Amino acid sequence: MTTPSNSPYTPDLRGFIEFLEKEHPEQVVRISKEVDPNFGVSGILERLERDGNFPLVIFENVKGSKIPLVANMHASFERLRLSLGMEHGDVKAFVKECSARQANPIDPVMVDKAPVQEEVFLDDQVNVEELPICTYHEKDAGKYITAGLAVMRDPETGINNVGIYRHMVHEKNLLGVQLSETADGNVIWKKYEKRGLPCPIAIVIGHHPAFFIGSLCFSTLDSDEIKIAGGMLQRPVPLVRCKTIPLEVPADAEIVLECEIRPVERRAEAPFGEYPGTYGPRRMNPVLEVKAITRRKNPIYQNAFVGHADNLLLSGLIRTSFIEDTVKIACPTVRAVNVPRSGRFRFICYVAIEKMMEGEAKLAAMAAFVADPFLKFVVVVDHDVDINSDTDVLHAIATRVRADTDTFMVPYAKGSPLDPASYDPAGGSNLITKMGIDATRKSNYPDEIAVPGYESINMADFIPGYRSS
Ligand SMILES: Cc1cc2nc3c(=O)[nH]c(=O)nc-3n(C[C@H](O)[C@H](O)[C@H](O)COP(=O)(O)O)c2cc1C
Ligand SMILES: [Mn+2]
């Protein structure tokens, strides 16, 4: 397997684009015509998606900016797989590879000279409006940075955390942020807020997709996602000290916004078209002051199309291995986990177990809920059910569930504040009800119908020219 560490391409955003254009040119579309960042970029991405096309799109000429925009990077499974150096393999092989790399994090190395600091803009020179920041959906409250990898540091443990959080542009040096209650970033920000201190946060824009996969892997608050990103890239991430805040950032990123979250202050933020396919409500959210912009001489800006494949696929595929490892604690015979597209890669989880005793399925469901706060429905089935098929799982529910004894509910549990079925979606409530379903066969389940000997019939003897489809 070619891995990023032995490839001739640099393990950063431009290196991966160069790799795609040389080795998989069908993956990349360049648009040189001027495109409007207000609905023009998202309009083209929407058209592509509706036509079933998910290329990487490079907008070379976004109205009002000199900086090119890379969009749709994570919208195809094939590109995510290629980012790990896997030329072949299905989703199962990809998840297995992610899981193996997540289990082998690599420490970063400190460097003094960084491409991302070739140009430094401080104080009055700070102007995020120079970036090709887009407005995506009809009712969005404004322009949003959607693929910023936010580096923060836990003030108690000193451990780095990385996550993507949306940033509405308020002014040329002021941004909003939505730190959902499901994110570690929310916990870290609240630790600073409680002390009345500004919270340093560096927004890293433009990196290799393997860096994104590592950063977004589900992990505990005490695991450093920069190390997991190193594991995913199979090389240490080079880190450079920020110019104005006490954090380190990847030296080979394209652009970094060095910021502080102001304590106490709040500003109205959103509506914004969110991952469930509905608008996230207007909330009084924290305000970030951009202290410095550092960047390469000719930077590339990167965004994500939230609510669409680009956003859903990335977060969907990488959560299953953490869920499976957690379910294993409750149920050692877990065979597979799937977070299906039908639940927007977030809300529904199917777990296949080889049941050894009654009651195990419910523990498996509880463990899945513990692993992933976004989950609302966990369905546990026997291992011979194909959990990649919604139909097969629904068949197990239809035929094997006694609702009174085989389901359980946990009302008012922590979930996503963007869940359209939360108790107060307009207010951004993060309280939802979770439901576990044991859809395994129970001990008195009747025998299933079967025709003996059908496999060995030579059909052509009976129906000349017969071919099984
Ligand atoms: C494109 C994209 C946009 C996202 N936007 C947000 C967001 O605005 N707020 C949020 O809390 N999580 C958002 N997420 C999800 C988090 O980035 C993800 O849950 C991450 O693992 C959180 O990391 P943390 O738990 O270490 O904070 C987004 C994910 C993606 C892929
Ligand atoms: Mn984290």
| CATH number for 233 | 2.30.110.10
Q: Which two tokens stand for residue 341?
A: 């597209």
> Which ligand has its closest atom nearest to the C-alpha of 222?
2
Same domain, 266 and 343: no
Flag whether 466 is in a domain. Answer: no
358 CA → ligand 2 middle, Å = 35
pLDDT band at 202 (very low <50, low <70, confident <90, very high): very high
Which tokens is 346 given?
């977030």
Our CA angle for 196, 198, 203, nearest 5°, is 150
Q: For residues 59 and 194, what is the distance between their CA atoms, to the nearest angstrom?
A: 42
119: its two tokens:
């140009």
Q: Which residue has the higher pLDDT, 61 or 315?
A: 61
Which atom of ligand 1 is closest in space to residue 305's alpha carbon? 1
Q: Whose CA is nearest to atom 31 of ligand 1?
A: 311
In a domain, 201, yes or no: yes
Residues 258, 389 within the same domain:
no
pLDDT at 469: 76
Per the domain annotation, does 460 fall within a domain? no
Q: Which residue's CA is the closest to the ligand 1 atom numbered 12?
A: 165
CA distances from 24 to 29, 87, 99, 314 (A): 11, 10, 25, 20
Residue with token string 């955390």: 161
C-alpha to C-alpha distance for 378 and 439, rounded to whole angstroms: 10
Atom 28 (ligand 1) nearest CA = 164
Residue 6 pLDDT grade (very low, low, confident, very high; cuts 50, 70, 90): confident
Q: Would you state the pLDDT for residue 315?
A: 86
Structure confidence by residue, pLDDT tens digits, 71-124: 999 999 999 999 999 999 999 899 999 999 999 999 999 999 999 999 999 999
Check whether 171 has a pLDDT greater than 90.
Answer: yes
Q: Look at residues 314, 348, 370 and tell me which one is the last residue of a structural domain.
A: 314
The model's pLDDT over 444-466, given as tens digits with 9 standing for 90+, comes to 999 999 999 999 999 999 999 99
pTM of the model: 0.95
Predicted pLDDT of residue 218: 86
Closest Cα to residue 300, out of 39, 67, 29?
Answer: 67
Rounded to the nearest angstrom, the gap between the alpha carbon of residue 346 and the centroid of all alpha carbons in its chain is 10
- Let me know whether 227 and 371 are in one domain: no
Among protein residues, the one with the nearest Cα to ligand 1's atom 11 is: 180
Tell me: do 77 and 15 sit in the same domain. yes
Ligand 1 atom nearest the C-alpha of 185 is: 27
> What is the rounded CA–CA span in Å between residue 163 and residue 179?
10
Distance CA 135, CA 249 (A): 27
364 and 240 in a single domain? The answer is no
Distance (angstroms) between ligand 2 centre and the Cα of 187 equals: 10
293 and 183 housed in the same domain: yes
45 Cα–ligand 1 center, Å: 21
Q: 3-state DSSP call for residue 350?
A: strand
Q: Tell me the one-letter amino acid at 238.
A: P
Residue minimizing CA distance to atom 1 of ligand 1 = 311
Is the per-residue pLDDT at 50 higher than 60?
yes
Per the domain annotation, does 132 fall within a domain?
Answer: yes
Examine the pLDDT at 419 and tell me if it is beyond 50: yes
- Give the pLDDT of residue 362: 98
Residue bearing the CA closest to ligand 1, atom 2: 311
* pLDDT band, very low/low/confident/very high, at 5 (cuts 50, 70, 90): low
Check whether residue 327 and residue 282 sit in a common domain: no
Q: How far apart are CA 258 and CA 201, in angstroms?
A: 7
User: How does 291-320 read in b/e, with b if 16+ C-beta sit within 10 Å?
Assistant: bbbbbbeebbbbbbbbbbbbbbbbbbbbbb
The answer to whether residues 324 and 249 belong to one domain is no
Q: Which of 314, 342, 373 is the last residue of a domain?
A: 314
CATH of residue 323? 3.40.1670.10
CA gap 321, 214 in Å, rounded: 13
Q: Are residues 250 and 334 in the same domain?
A: no
pLDDT value, residue 2:
45
**Parent domain of 365:** 319-438
Joined together, the tokens standing for residue 386 give: 């194909």
- Ligand 1 atom at minimum distance from 74 CA: 31
Do 308 and 325 fall within a single domain? no
Q: Please give the mean pLDDT across all residues of the chain.
A: 96
Domain final residue pick, 314, 331, 354: 314
The two three-digit tokens of residue 321, written as one number: 């291995």
Which of 315, 318, 345, 374 is the pocket-test mutation for ligand 1 (most atoms within 8 Å of CB)? Answer: 315
- Both 119 and 229 in a single domain? yes
Which pLDDT score is estimated for 3? 54
**Ligand 1 site residues, Cβ closer than 6 angstroms:** 146-147, 161, 163-166, 178-180, 183-185, 216, 304, 306, 311, 314-315
Enter the DSSP assignment of 332. T
Percent of the chain topping pLDDT 70: 99
- pLDDT of 4 reads 56
* 323 shares a domain with 279: no
Q: Which helix (H) or strand (E) holds 177?
A: none
Q: How far is the CA of 454 from the centre of ligand 2 (A)?
A: 52
In this structure, is residue 420 part of a structural domain? yes
Picking from 149, 179, 133, 121, the residue whose alpha carbon sits closest to that of residue 41 is 133
**Domain for residue 468, yes or no?**
no
Answer whether 32's CB lies under 8 Å from 58's CB.
no
Query: Considering only 67-81, 109-123, 132-146, 316-330, which range has the smallest mean pLDDT?
Result: 316-330
Domain count, the chain: 2
